[in-house]
Each structure stands twice: as C-alpha cells, then as structure tokens.
Structure 1
C-alpha cells in the first residue's frame, strides 16, 4: 500500500486565513461578557493563545530551517520552514527522546519502497479496496496517531504511540506552494527493522 506513504498529503493544513480567523475569534472571546467562564474554557483559551503567539514566528523571515519544542502534554511540536539539514532535525528529535529517520525530497519524487518493515498497514500493506478502507486503515493505525499535521508548517508527534525500539520515519516532499510548502509521509518502523537510505524516484503519473 505504497500510496499510503502520502497519507498526510490529503489533509489540508490550516491556511494563514484560517489562523487569522481563529485569532480574531480568540480576541472576541476575551472581551468582557456577562456570563460565567469555567476553568476548562480558560485553559483552552490559554492553549489557543499560545499557538497564535507562535504562528507569526513560523511564517516570518529569518527563521531557522526547523524547530523542535516539547509540549506540557508530552507531545513534540516540529516546525519545518525549510527542507534542509535532515540529520540536524533527527538529532533534535533524538534529544527529545524520539528515534527518527528524516528525509527531504524534491517535488514530484518520493523514496522508493520498501525501506523498512512497518508496524501497520500504512506502509507495505495490501492495496486498499476503496476510499473507505483506505480511510479506515489510516485512521486506526498507530502511525497516523503518532504524527499529525497541525498547521501549514507544523506537525505534532505523540511519543505515547511509539513503542520501544521503533523508529519514526518521516518524509517531507517539497511542494512549490507557499500555502502548502511540503507534503508529508510518516510511518513507524518495527523495532529491530533497519531503515534503508532513501532512493528518490519520480511519482507515478
């Protein structure tokens, strides 16, 4: 099921317009109102505010190629502004406790398969019978739960879905689109399964 390698590419990340709208809704919600605001709502608002404060740094100039930040809930946020220095990103993820294999490939290409033994059907599994089966396989897999695209340039990694000895394999594909600068393939390699170097090949037409 090699087509599942690009499972995240079909999930449209939030656009700057979406983020601007969320920012305005947050500001509207902060204006004084004559109603009781419960604790959980305040916590949610605080979390959204933190995300919005980070957003301008992601889209501004002079940013590093990537950034790795550990969140209070144990997840790890990875922001990728430029597709360069994959080994440096691997090292930062390693410092956060995540064994990863990171590859950046040019637009219109992907890494030839197979490179490793996957933990679920999102990599190397049999072809899906249809869209519903494909969606079900992706949604129920640990690979998809371990990595989520959360904004235009950011993904969230949840280490609780990564078992000891497993490697997170991520493949960023250049997209030549300022709104969606890259596409992502993300899978978990079985413990003890070595990950072969990427051999770029052209996408099927």
Structure 2
C-alpha cells in the first residue's frame, strides 16, 4: 500500500505541475489539495492505532491543506494561508518533540539557522514594508522563526525522513518568499511545489518508516 500511495502521490503532484503549465484552473483546484489528501492517507498506512506523533502530524497536514486552499483563491488570502501554515509547523514541532518531552537545544544547529533567519528576514523586510500591511512583516517574522525552529527540532525524532522533509519545507518557503516579496520569476511556483510536496511526503514517511 505504501508503494501504491507513493506512486499516486508522485503522479498527482506531476499532474498538478502540468495543470499549472496548462493554466487549467479546475485541475489546479482538484490536484493541489488532492495530492495532500493522498499524503494524509499515507500516514495511516499500516498503523493499527494512532499515536501522539501521527495525530499531530495529521493535524499539521490538515492545516497545510487549508493553507493550500487559501493561497489558491483568486482574492488575496496570503495572510490566511500564512497563518494556516504557521499552525501546521507548530503541530509538527509538537509531534517532533513529543509534547516537549524530547525537546532539545543543539546550538550547532540553532545558531547558524537563527542567523540565516535574521538575514533572510532583513533581506525581505524592505519589500514587506512596501506592502503597506502592518500585520504582514510581523506574520512573516513569526513564520520564519517557527519554520527554522521546526527544522532544528526535527533532529529530536532521529528520523532522516523528518529531518530532510523539514529542510525541504524550509527551502520551499524561502523560494516562495523570494518570489512573493523580492523578485518574481517564471519558474518559482514549480520549484516551490516540488520541494513542498517532497517535504510533506517525507514528513508523512517519518510516521511509518
């Protein structure tokens, strides 16, 4: 079942990219959250009963679906999408740290990642300020802090799937922020979605592998 669902996720994700290229609104609305639904199904494969870890990962995946839907809407719902993904990352942190019982502070990871977060926010801030929305700079600052922290806490799991998945999520959001607030480039959405689906898929795999 894992292999079949993995194949379906791969095909659905590729189909979404083709829908983007073809500018097919219908298939984009179906396939973007649809691929995430298959990833959610993957988390329950082979599990007889839900654990603390899987419950919080699934909640995080569900909030991610909400974020996907907000970002797809014709009207500008970026802040709502940002909030949904912020909650999703907090859910992942709760899962990774097992309700803080596995909370760790590894300064070798936190310090360089914290410096990266400060640098990247400083890089984006002039563009965020131009947007004229006072909540946006605050929201983006919180988001960068939380996703960087999520990556550091992924090491608590000891799972290569969770660690690489969290890193892929960090890369995906960095590309999205660059495209959204600094400089648009034509292929940005493809890079964002490839790294995003990879991130969610690997985090889902951390539940069952």
TM bucket, shorter chain: 0.3 to 0.5
Higher relative contact order (CA 8 A, sep 6+): 1
Higher Cα radius of gyration: 1
| Structure with the higher fraction of residues in strand conformation | 1
| Structure with the higher fraction of residues in helix conformation | 2
What's the TM-score once normalised by structure 1's chain length?
A: 0.33
